[in-house]
Structure 1
Amino acid sequence: MPPRPALLRCALVALVVALGLTGCVSPKHQASAPTAGASSSSTGDAALAPFYDQVLEWTTCGSEQCAEATVPLDWADPGGDTITLALRRIPASGGSPVGSLLVNPGGPGRSAIDSIGYFRQVVSREVLAAYDLVAFDPRGVQHSSPVTCVDPAELDEMAAWVPDWSTDAGMAEAIERNGDFGRACLERSGELLGHVDTPSAARDMDVLRAVLGDEALTYLGFSYGTELGATYAALFPERVGRLVLDGALDPTLDSGEVAAGQAAGFESALRAYVADCQAGASCPLDGDVDAGLTQIARLFDRTRANPLPTGTDRELTSSLAFSGVAAALYAQTSWPLLTQALTKAIDAADGSVLLQLADSYYGRGPDGTYATNQNEAFSAILCLDDRPSAEPEDMRADAAEVQAVAPTVGHFFSYGGASCAQWPVPAVGSLESYEAPGAAPIVVVGTTNDPATPYAWAQSLAKLLSSAVLLTFEGEGHTAYGRSNECVKDAVDTYLLTGVAPADGTTC
C-alpha cells in the first residue's frame, strides 16, 4: 500500500485468515423495540431528529440480525445528503439484554461486520449473555457507504512497490503515485471521501447509541477503535457508559511520533521473537539476538535488490517481506509460522510463506481478490485525520529519528508524509481536547510489549481522559482482552457487567 506510518490492524492476525465471512440470507422482519426508558435525540436540534429518532428494521442475517441506520454525510449540513451504516447484531443469549455493546476491531478500515465471529470468540459468555453485541462498520468501511479506489491488481502492485527514498526524485515519485491513488479514490468515491474522518464516525456512534435504545454508550474498541472511542468520549462525555479501550492510541500524537512509537514497538516485538526463536530447536537465525536481527535486516536488503520467488507470478519484495514479518508479530501464537517463513526465505530463497503472511495482513485471498476495502479506507481515514509534512528535509529528519530507535524495521515506518501530500480533499484533523470532563469511568488497556500500539500510548491516553483508569497486561502481542489471561478478562468483564472499574494501575 502507499507508504504510511501506521500499521493498525485487528488484534489477532491469524483470525484474518480464519474468519469466515457470512452473508445475509432472505430477510425475516422482526420487531424493533428500544430498551425501556431510552431517550430519543435529546439534542434539542430539530435537524438531527430524523436521525436520532429513526427506527431500525432488523432482518435475519445468517445466525444474526442485520440493519442499516442513516446518518448525515456532512455533520455540518445535516439537511443535506445522507449515508448508511451497516449493523450486525448477536442478541443477548440471556434473553433480557441490559443494553447494546458496540464493538470495533480497529484499522482504521477493518470491518466489524465481517469480524463478528472474532468478537463472538473474545467476548466472554457472561458478557454475551447480558448484552446484545452490535458490530457496525464506520462510514467509508466495507458495508457502510464504502470508499472505493482501485482494482485488486492495482492493490497488489501498490503493496509490493518499493519506493526509493534516497533521492528527492524518488520522494517526488512516491508523492505522485500516492496522489494518483487519492485521485482514484475521489473519482470512485465522490464527496464521501471528504467525510470519513474519525470525529464524524464518532458522531455517527451517538446516533447508533440512540436508535439502539441506550441512554449511554457501552463500547469495546481495539487498536484504532480506541481513538474512535476516545473521540466519542470527548464529544459526548455525558453519554459515556462503559467504555473499554484496548491497545490504545494517543490521538494527540502527530504522525512522526506515531511512526517512531510503532517502529520502536515492532523492533521490540521482533527482538522478543528472535530470542524465543533462538531458544528453540529449528531457528534459522544464528548467534545472539543482535545477530539474528542483522540476518532479518539482510533479508530485507536482499529482497529490496532481488525479490524472492514465491511459486506464483508474484515476487516477494522488501515491502511484502516486512508486511509478512509484521503480520506475525501481532500475536505470539503466530511466531512458529514466522519461523517457518524465515526458514524458507533465508535457507531456501523461497518467499512463499512470507507472502502468505503479507496477504493475510492486507486481506488478500488466494484468488487475488481482497475481502474488504480496508486498505482504501485505511488511507482515506488517516489522510483526513492527519496531514504530515512531505517536505524532503522534514521526512529525512523524521526518518533519522525512527531509524535510531528501530534499526531493523525503521525504514518501513519512515517517509509517511508522502502518503497524503496530494490527497485530493482537505484534512479535518483531530479534536482540541480529549479530556472528556464529567464522563463515567473509562477502562484503558495496555500491553507492555504491544508492537502496534506501544504501552506508552495507553499510559498517555489514560492521562488524557479525565475519568480513565489504566489496566496493564505484562506480555506480548497486540491488545489483551480475550487473548491474554484471566486477570484481564475478569477485570474487563466485571466492569462491563457491573460498572465497577479496576483500580487505576492494576497490572495483570
Structure 2
Amino acid sequence: MPRCINRAGAALLPLLLVVAGCSAGPSQRPAVAYHDGEQQVAPAPQPPKPQPVPPLGAAANDSLNWQDCTDQTRSELGSLPAGMTFSCARLLSTLDAPEAPERGTARNSLIRTGSGKVPLVVVGDVGGEPGTTFAARLATQLPPEIRNTFAIVGMDRRGTGESEPADCVPPQQREQVIGFDPRAAERSQLDQLLESVLKASQECLLKLDERLQAYDTWRTASDLEELRLELGVPRLHAIGRGEAGRLLTTYAERYPTSVGRFVIDGAPDPTRDSMGQAEYQAQAAEQTFDAFAEDCTGRGCPLGPNPRQAVTDLVERTRTAPLPAPGTSVPAGRVIQAVLQGLGDRNGWPALADALAAGTRGDGTRLAELSAPLVSPQGVNPPWFDGDLITSCNDTTLRVPPQRSTEIAQDWVGRFPLFGGAAAQRVVWCGSWPVPQQPLPSPRRADLPPIPVITTAHDPRSLAVGTDHLADELPTGVAMRWQGAGHGAIARSTCVTDAVSRFLVQGVVPTEGMACPE
C-alpha cells in the first residue's frame, strides 16, 4: 500500500498534490480492465429504470379475521349508501422500538368495504380523523368502478384511533396547547407554551415508555408491508392524502418491489425541514382563507363584507375573553383550529361561515364542535392531538431553542396574521422531545412505477408549490393539478377522480401536468 510522507518545509502546491493523490475518497475515474494485454474502460453502471404500471395482481388471499362492523361505521359517519357494508379486523406487526429493535407487538385497527377482490389501502393525515374513519368516508364518495374493482382498506396509524392510541397528554395540557394564544410572540408568553408541552411530553414518556418513539412514519411503513403480506397480495396499491403522502414515499424507499399503484393527494414539501413545512402550512392556510372569504362574500356572507377583518376581530377578542360553549370554552387558539378544520372541506364552508358568525355574536358552540376532535374523545376514538404530537416530533430531528422560537413567532405572526402563530407553535412542540436516530428518507428511487401526485390550488394544509416539489423530487412522480379548494382533490373534483380511477382500475397514467378546473 502506498504511503504519503509529509516532509517539513515542502512547498504548499506539491503538498496539496500529494494529499490529493493519497486521499481515501472515492475515485471518479471509470474502472479499468485488461483483456489480452490491452487496457479497456469498463462501461459505467446504468441508473435504474422506472418500472411500468404494475398489474393489479391476483385477488387477495388474506389471513385476517374480518368481522362485520357496519352498524359501528354508520354511527360514525351518520349514514351509509344503501347496501354498503363494512368489516373490521386487527393487524399485528412488530413494534420495533429503538430500545428493543425487531421486538414487541403493534396492533393496528383495520376496516374494509367494496365488492372488489384486490385491496386498495387508503391512509390519511396522522393529525386528522382516524384512518379507518377517513377510508370509510372516502369509500362512500368514490365512483362505483373503484368500489367494484377494489376492496378498500383503511388503517388507523400507530397511536391513533383504535390502533393502541397514545391518549397520554393530560386534558389540561391538551386544552392549553390547542387553545394557546395564536398571536403570542414574546418570550415570557411562549415560555408558558413550552411548559405545557414539556408536561405533555413527560406524561407521554411515563405512560408509553419504550412505545413512545415507535410511533412514527418509518415504522408505520413496516405496518403497511405487514398488511400487504397478511392480505396476500404481491404489491400494495394505495391512496395517501396529505401528510400520508410522506408515509407512501417512505414505504416506497423501504419496499420498492412491493409498490403497486400509488396515488398521493396533497402532500407536504419533501425539500423543506419541519420548520419550513410549518411555514408553508401557514402560507397555505392564509391563501385558502382568502378563497373562503371571496366565496363567502359572493354568497351574501354572514360575516359581512370583510370576512378576514371579522375573524381577525374575533381572534383578538377571544385572546382575553374565550367564547362560552356547552361544557367548555373557546379561546383564540381553538378559534384558529376550528377555522383550519373547516377550511379543509370546501362543501362545509357555508357551515364554517355560520359558526364564525355565531362566534362574533358571542356563541362558541359550533366553533367548539369543529375543534372538539383535537382535544376530546369522539366515541371510541381518542383526541387527535396526542397522535399528531408524537408522530410529528418522532419524524423530525429539528429541535428549535426557545430564543429562536420567539424570533420565528414574531416573524410569522407578522407575515401570516391569522395562522402564523399557530404554525410557529407547532415548531415549539418538539423542543423537549427525544431526537430520533435519523430523519425520514427523501423520495429518490428511480426504479418505481409512475406515481400521480395531486396538487390542490387552495389546500389549507399543503401549499401547492410544496406538493409540486414532491412531484418534481419523486423520479417517477406525475404531476396533476386541481384549481379547487380543500384538503385533497380525490372525490371532490370529478376531473381528478376520473383520472385517478382510470389509473387505479385500468393502469392509464395521467398526462404529466394535467390541470383540472375548479
Answer whether TM exceeds 0.5 for this pair.
Answer: yes
How big is each residue's C-alpha offset from its partner over 1:118-138, in whole Å with a ceiling of 9 and x where there is no partner? 022122211111111111122
Shift of 1:276: 2.2
CA distance in 2, matches of 1:265, 1:83: 35
CA distance in 1, matches of 2:59, 2:358: 60
- Among 471, 494, 500, which residue is 1:462 paired with? 471
**Alpha carbons 2:124, 2:134 under 8 Å: kept:** yes
**Alpha carbons 1:72, 1:83 under 8 Å: kept:** yes
How big is each residue's C-alpha offset from its partner over 1:89-146, in whole Å with a ceiling of 9 and x where there is no partner? 22x425xx2x210111223464222334302212221111111111112222222232
* Partner secondary structure for residue 416 of structure 1: helix
Judged with a 3 Å threshold, the aligned counterparts in structure 2 of structure 1 residues 266 and 260 are, in CA distance, closer, same or farther, namely same
Q: Report the counterpart of residue 343 of structure 1 in structure 2.
A: 357
Shift of 1:227: 1.1
Query: Sequence identity, in percent?
Result: 28
Q: Report the counterpart of residue 130 of structure 2 in structure 1.
A: 111
Q: Report the counterpart of residue 187 of structure 1 in structure 2.
A: 206
Judged with a 3 Å threshold, the aligned counterparts in structure 2 of structure 1 residues 455 and 353 are, in CA distance, closer, same or farther, namely same
**TM (normalized to structure 2)?**
0.79
Is 1:412–2:412 an aligned residue pair? no
Q: Report the counterpart of residue 404 of structure 2 in structure 1.
A: 394
**Alpha carbons 1:344, 1:351 under 8 Å: kept:** yes
How big is each residue's C-alpha offset from its partner over 1:147-180, in whole Å with a ceiling of 9 and x where there is no partner? 2303556544543343784433332332121011
CA distance in 2, matches of 1:470, 1:164: 36
* Partner secondary structure for residue 414 of structure 1: helix
- Among 323, 327, 334, which residue is 2:341 paired with? 327
Judged with a 3 Å threshold, the aligned counterparts in structure 2 of structure 1 residues 59 and 349 are, in CA distance, closer, same or farther, namely closer
Q: Report the counterpart of residue 308 of structure 1 in structure 2.
A: 323
- Among 498, 504, 509, which residue is 1:490 paired with? 498
Which residue identity is paired with 2:336?
A: F
Which residue identity is paired with 2:466?
A: W
How big is each residue's C-alpha offset from its partner over 1:298-325, in whole Å with a ceiling of 9 and x where there is no partner? 2111110222233x34222101111122
**Alpha carbons 2:111, 2:154 under 8 Å: kept:** yes
Range with bigger deviation, 373-382 or 160-169 = 160-169
Is 1:218–2:237 an aligned residue pair? yes
Which residue identity is paired with 1:381?
A: T
Is 1:120–2:139 an aligned residue pair? yes
**Alpha carbons 2:162, 2:381 under 8 Å: kept:** no
Judged with a 3 Å threshold, the aligned counterparts in structure 2 of structure 1 residues 108 and 115 are, in CA distance, closer, same or farther, namely same
Shift of 1:282: 4.5
Judged with a 3 Å threshold, the aligned counterparts in structure 2 of structure 1 residues 106 and 79 are, in CA distance, closer, same or farther, namely closer
- Among 61, 64, 74, which residue is 1:56 paired with? 64
**TM (normalized to structure 1)?**
0.81
CA distance in 1, matches of 2:102, 2:425: 40
Judged with a 3 Å threshold, the aligned counterparts in structure 2 of structure 1 residues 282 and 184 are, in CA distance, closer, same or farther, namely same
CA distance in 2, matches of 1:447, 1:440: 23
Is 1:478–2:491 an aligned residue pair? no
Matched pairs, number: 445
Judged with a 3 Å threshold, the aligned counterparts in structure 2 of structure 1 residues 141 and 131 are, in CA distance, closer, same or farther, namely same
CA distance in 1, matches of 2:242, 2:319: 30
- Among 298, 315, 336, which residue is 1:279 paired with? 298
Note the 1:175-324 alignment, pairs <5 A.
175-286=194-305, 291-310=306-325, 312-324=326-338
Judged with a 3 Å threshold, the aligned counterparts in structure 2 of structure 1 residues 417 and 263 are, in CA distance, closer, same or farther, namely closer
- Among 427, 430, 438, which residue is 2:439 paired with? 430
Judged with a 3 Å threshold, the aligned counterparts in structure 2 of structure 1 residues 429 and 370 are, in CA distance, closer, same or farther, namely farther
Which residue identity is paired with 1:304?
A: R
* Partner secondary structure for residue 315 of structure 1: strand
* Partner secondary structure for residue 131 of structure 2: coil
Q: Report the counterpart of residue 82 of structure 1 in structure 2.
A: 105
Q: Report the counterpart of residue 459 of structure 2 in structure 1.
A: 450
Judged with a 3 Å threshold, the aligned counterparts in structure 2 of structure 1 residues 296 and 148 are, in CA distance, closer, same or farther, namely closer
**Alpha carbons 2:401, 2:431 under 8 Å: kept:** no
Q: Report the counterpart of residue 23 of structure 1 in structure 2.
A: none
**Alpha carbons 1:256, 1:398 under 8 Å: kept:** no
**Alpha carbons 1:56, 1:68 under 8 Å: kept:** yes
Max Rg structure? 2
Q: Report the counterpart of residue 359 of structure 1 in structure 2.
A: 372
CA distance in 2, matches of 1:338, 1:420: 30
Shift of 1:229: 0.8
